[in-house]
Amino acid sequence: MHLLVLGAWPELANQLVGLPARVSLLQAPGAANAREAAWAHHYVEVDYTGLDQGMRAAAEIHAEDPVDLVIGPREASLAVVGEIARKLGVPSMPGPVESLGADKAEVRRLLNGGGCHQVPYRVCLRPDDLTAFVSEHGFPAIVKPANGFASFGVHTVTGPDDVDPAWAHAGDVGFGAVLAEKLLTGQEYSVETLSVDGRHEVVAVTEKLTTGAPYFVETGHIVPARLDTPALTAVGQEALRALTAIGHRLGPSHVEVIRTEDGPAVIEINRRLGGDRIWELVQLATGRDMAREALLHAAGVAFEPAKVPPNAAVIRYLYSTVDARSVTTLPHNAAAGVPGLVRVEFSVAGGARVRPVLSSKGRLGYVLVHGVDSERAVQAAAQAYDAVTAALLR
């Protein structure tokens, strides 16, 4: 089997080594220092998010050795993955290819029509459209780029004075039209799933920490979520209904869900592994390597998932709520001695000016811990977070 992969971050690229298939890679120039070139069947550095360049490179590879499956592990590559799969006449992961549209309004239409929790929505092309939506459905609402990703451009609208700031925040990120939805209130979770031939499996449920309104930047994740069995089941079932509603059949997904007073409701579906290192939290907590399993499924290889005693993992993201500056020498050892500490990672330079966080891009790093259960892992993560934060900013 010949797999064509568009973009593979280092940990995913490691999973491709030794896979019982020929693996060709389209990588962004300099993304991984070209180290995959040594083992890849074909290795091409190209802006794979650009349709012309990505299509040209894929067609050249396919002409030499026909591709059997196109894989897009990143949201930014999905539009190109879909087009490559259509033009080459091959399947894709995620798939099927006809369901790879990035239009969040279309996804909401499918969810509302597929037996999922009903959420009012409207595509807004100008501020007046947003005003009309909140006039009809009331406050609060949430706006986001109709084709955005991560937390870029997300903003709540709690009253008339929020309409213009929310419109500016959602529109300024440059993803086109703005999607307005009735704001769902409650604790947020995500469901990490694997799908094969339309059969969906819940691998884990993640509890999410955010900054709250107005930007809802994610600041931490807990695996497994601190829910009882009936609540875990309800959240998981809503996610699986959503995957069926949009026609998803192959590959991992990260389904974001709110537990409202009326039951779980889907916020978004991301047809990829959970970002923010959720895939690593899942592996630490369950022993399941979702990336490897998805690739083995893609290659048609039979295997048994790993079986380990259940435990837990937590990540807490570092961020600032004020204008500040990081210390010159970053405090890599500030959390030394915290039980279960896996690592401390910084994404800010020493002595850099930092501002209050408005999106995931403004976070300063993270602490990651592993524990025997969620409560103890949460306590250890809080201890590590407090120690590092106290030493990081001045």
- Does residue 32 have a pLDDT over 70? no
Region 60-88: mean pLDDT is 94
pLDDT at 164: 86
pLDDT tens by residue, 167-202: 887 765 545 688 999 999 999 999 999 999 999 999
Helices assigned H by DSSP within 65-154: 78-88, 104-113, 127-137
pLDDT at 172: 57
E strands in the chain: 2-6, 22-27, 42-45, 69-71, 92-93, 121-124, 141-145, 155-157, 178-182, 187-196, 199-210, 218-223, 251-260, 263-270, 312-318, 324-325, 341-346, 353-354, 365-371
- Does residue 150 have a pLDDT over 50? no
In the numeric block, which tokens belong to residue 84? 């490559």
Omega cis (within 30) before 224: yes
> How far, in Å, CA of 13 to CA of 19, rounded?
11
Protein fold of 120-182: Dna Ligase; domain 1 (3.30.1490)
Closest by alpha carbon to 96, among 86, 105, 104? 86
Instruction: Give the Cβ contact number of residue 183 at 10 Å.
Output: 19
Helices assigned H by DSSP within 160-277: 163-171, 229-246
Residues of the chain with CATH 3.40.50.20: 2-99
> How far, in Å, CA of 199 to CA of 209, rounded?
29
Instruction: Give the Cβ contact number of residue 236 at 10 Å.
Output: 24
> How far, in Å, CA of 381 to CA of 335, rounded?
9
- Does residue 11 have a pLDDT over 90? no
Which residue has 């949009």 as its token pair?
246
Exposed, middle or buried by CB within 10 Å (0-12, 13-18, 19+), for 14? Answer: middle
Region 237-241: mean pLDDT is 98
| pLDDT band, residue 214 (cuts 50/70/90) | confident
Residues of the chain with CATH 3.30.1490.20: 120-182
Any residues with CB less than 8 A from the CB of 183 and at least 6 apart, and which? Answer: 140, 141, 142, 156, 157
Of 14 and 149, the structure prediction assigns the larger pLDDT to: 14
- Does residue 149 have a pLDDT over 60? no
Number of H helices, E strands in the chain: 10, 19
CA contacts within 13 A on the Cβ side of 112 = 13
pLDDT at 10: 83
In the numeric block, which tokens belong to residue 180? 């307005």
pLDDT tens by residue, 253-302: 999 999 999 999 999 999 999 999 999 999 999 999 999 999 999 888 88
Least confident window among 111-120, 151-160, 245-254, 367-376: 151-160
Region 232-258: mean pLDDT is 97
Write the class of the CATH domain 2-99: alpha beta
In the numeric block, which tokens belong to residue 339? 């039980």
Q: What is the CA angle 188-360-73, rounded to 5?
A: 85
Beta bridge partners of 24: 4, 42
Beta bridge partners of 44: 26
Residues of the chain with CATH 3.30.470.20: 184-303
pLDDT at 350: 97
Beta bridge partners of 393: 326
Residue 345 corresponds to which amino acid? Answer: E
CB 203 within 8 A of CB 288: yes
Residues above pLDDT 90, as percent of the chain: 73
| CATH code assigned to 311-394 | 3.90.1170.50
CA contacts within 13 A on the Cβ side of 322 = 6
| CATH code assigned to 184-303 | 3.30.470.20
CB 334 within 8 A of CB 391: yes
